[in-house]
């Protein structure tokens, strides 16, 4: 082919004719044969034996969006379900910087000293694996991540909150079947993810900080109301007095809320994750709570209510998915949206016509 660069007058870079590439750069390189995927029975057997590699692979299937992976993972979950439930599930929430990773690291080690196995999972709908904001990331929990009895799994990557939360809930089932008797579910203390976490745990722990003077500002009332325990972190050094003051303010504020259904009065404690002070007391509080709610029947009641909630959540999520991924809907939804924006169509008529199309298509 003629290149203007090859003309006599051209003074810039010259394009040379290419040479043919060899068929393989490294003839000695042997590609690894693709690993055969385990059967459902092999997955279940591995999980039941507590094989963490197989557990991880199963969780990857749970998180996958591929329909064939979904089908396999649902079968695995179903088979594991009878062996699940036998754990204490704890939700841990706090704004970025509150000290969640530091705390979970020391708290987790403390819990493991008493025996058993601990899984740390996370819900962060904003996270994408490649982008770094990954709750539950191993490098954030240095000691726990190398502990032989722990299993740490980052948040499923970004998606709808419902989807991310469902995957975490299903992962809980697999972890329990694998013999993990303590489950931590971590979440960022901003927005809706607390509600999702609250709906899958037995105890909801809220990590707070002091030092802003106006401690209660900026904490959504709804989040505080969900807490079974509030712990003020970084109660060390110069900050100790302020942390104590914050604790008093939180205790006073909690009095203003209606008494929780569980009959348990939420406690407020101060601690330092960094210096490992007051960590034992947090676990003692959780132990006391579990004894209390197992005694009055609330433990069972809450788990049943959660199962019911997840049944409806799961239906909602799958219906939504099926609707929005329907090819006919995908082809017309943006146009309808435009008509609504231009005022040519009311929202209700647009919705009705889309739904009619969808149901017609299902027939
Ligand atoms: P996360 O974003 O909630 O996971 O918070 P990190 O655990 O990453 O902690 C945020 C920062 O607070 C880090 O620089 C920690 O070293 C510091 N930090 C965590 N816990 C404590 C504590 O108990 N006392 C003090 N002084 N600093 C702490």
Residue 97 CB–ligand 1 contact under 6 Å:
yes
Which among 24, 57, 82 is the end of a domain? 82
Return all residues near 237 (Cβ < 8 A) that are at least 6 apart.
none
Return all residues near 88 (Cβ < 8 A) that are at least 6 apart.
181, 182, 183, 202, 203, 286, 290
| pLDDT in the model for residue 4 | 63
103 and 202 part of one domain: yes
Residue 47, domain member (yes or no): yes
DSSP structure class, residue 277 = B
Residue with tokens 């991880």: 56
318 and 339 part of one domain: yes
| pLDDT in the model for residue 129 | 47
203 and 77 part of one domain: no
Residue 252, domain member (yes or no): yes
Q: Which residues of the chain have pLDDT under 70?
A: 1-8, 10-16, 21-25, 27, 30-34, 126-139, 158-159, 189-191, 211-220
Q: Residue 295: enclosing H or E segment and its boundaries?
A: helix 279-296
348 lies in which domain range? 311-362
| pLDDT in the model for residue 216 | 55
| pLDDT in the model for residue 228 | 94
Domains: count for the chain: 3
Please state whether 18 falls in left (phi above 0), alpha (psi between -120 and 50) or beta: beta
Which among 243, 265, 296 is the end of a domain? 296
Return all residues near 78 (Cβ < 8 A) that are at least 6 apart.
none
Residue 201, domain member (yes or no): yes
Domain of 55: which CATH number? 1.20.5
- Atom 7 of ligand 1, residue of closest alpha carbon: 99
Ligand 1 test: best mutation among 93, 96, 99, most atoms within 8 Å of CB?
Answer: 99
Residue 162, domain member (yes or no): yes
70 and 180 part of one domain: no
Residue 272 CB–ligand 1 contact under 6 Å:
yes
42 and 169 part of one domain: no
Ligand 1 test: best mutation among 274, 278, 282, most atoms within 8 Å of CB?
Answer: 274
The token duo for 178 is 């694998």
Q: Which candidate, 35, 33, 60, 57, places its Cα nearest to that of 45?
A: 57
Residue 346, domain member (yes or no): yes
Residue 235 alpha carbon to ligand 1 centre in Å: 11
187 and 65 part of one domain: no
In this predicted model, what pLDDT tens digit does every residue of 195-245 receive, in sequence order? Answer: 888 899 999 999 988 865 454 555 667 788 889 999 999 999 888 999 999
Residue 32, domain member (yes or no): no
Residue 124, domain member (yes or no): yes
Residue 274 CB–ligand 1 contact under 6 Å:
yes
139 and 62 part of one domain: no
| pLDDT in the model for residue 131 | 46
Domain of 242: which CATH number? 3.40.50.300
- Report the distance separating Cα 179 and Cα 117, nearest Å: 7
Residue 277 CB–ligand 1 contact under 6 Å:
no
């Amino acid at each position: 082919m003629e290149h203007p660069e090859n003309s006599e007058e051209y003074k810039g870079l010259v394009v040379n004719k290419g040479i043919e590439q060899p068929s393989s750069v490294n003839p000695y390189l042997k590609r690894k044969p693709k690993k055969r995927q385990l059967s459902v029975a092999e997955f279940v057997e591995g999980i039941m034996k507590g094989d963490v590699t197989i557990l991880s692979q199963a969780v990857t299937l749970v998180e996958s969006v591929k329909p064939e992976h979904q089908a396999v993972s649902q079968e695995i979950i179903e088979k594991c379900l009878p062996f699940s439930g036998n754990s204490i599930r704890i939700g841990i929430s706090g704004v970025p910087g509150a000290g969640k990773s530091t705390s979970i690291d020391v708290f987790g080690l403390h819990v493991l000293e008493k025996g058993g196995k601990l899984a740390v999972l996370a819900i962060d709908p904003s996270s994408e694996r490649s982008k770094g904001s990954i709750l539950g990331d191993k490098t954030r929990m240095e000691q726990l991540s190398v502990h032989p009895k722990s299993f740490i799994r980052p948040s499923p990557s970004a998606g709808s909150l419902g989807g991310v939360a469902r995957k975490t809930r299903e992962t809980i089932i697999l972890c329990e079947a694998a013999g993990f008797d303590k489950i931590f579910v971590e979440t960022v203390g901003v927005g809706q993810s607390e509600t999702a976490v609250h709906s899958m745990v037995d105890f909801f722990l809220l990590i707070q900080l002091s030092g802003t003077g106006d401690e209660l500002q900026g904490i959504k009332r709804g989040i505080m109301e969900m807490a079974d325990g509030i712990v003020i972190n970084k109660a060390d050094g110069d900050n100790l007095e302020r942390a104590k003051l914050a604790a008093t303010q939180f205790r006073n504020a909690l009095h203003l809320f209606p008494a929780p259904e569980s009959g348990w009065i939420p406690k407020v404690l101060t601690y330092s994750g960094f210096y490992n002070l007051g960590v034992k007391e947090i676990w003692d509080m959780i132990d006391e709570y579990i004894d209390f709610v197992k005694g009055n029947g609330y433990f069972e009641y809450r788990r049943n209510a959660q199962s019911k909630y997840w049944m409806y959540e799961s239906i909602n999520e799958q219906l939504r998915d099926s609707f929005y991924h329907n090819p006919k809907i995908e082809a017309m939804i943006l146009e309808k949206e435009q008509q609504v924006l231009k005022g040519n169509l009311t929202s209700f008529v647009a919705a009705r016509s889309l739904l009619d199309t969808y149901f017609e298509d299902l027939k």
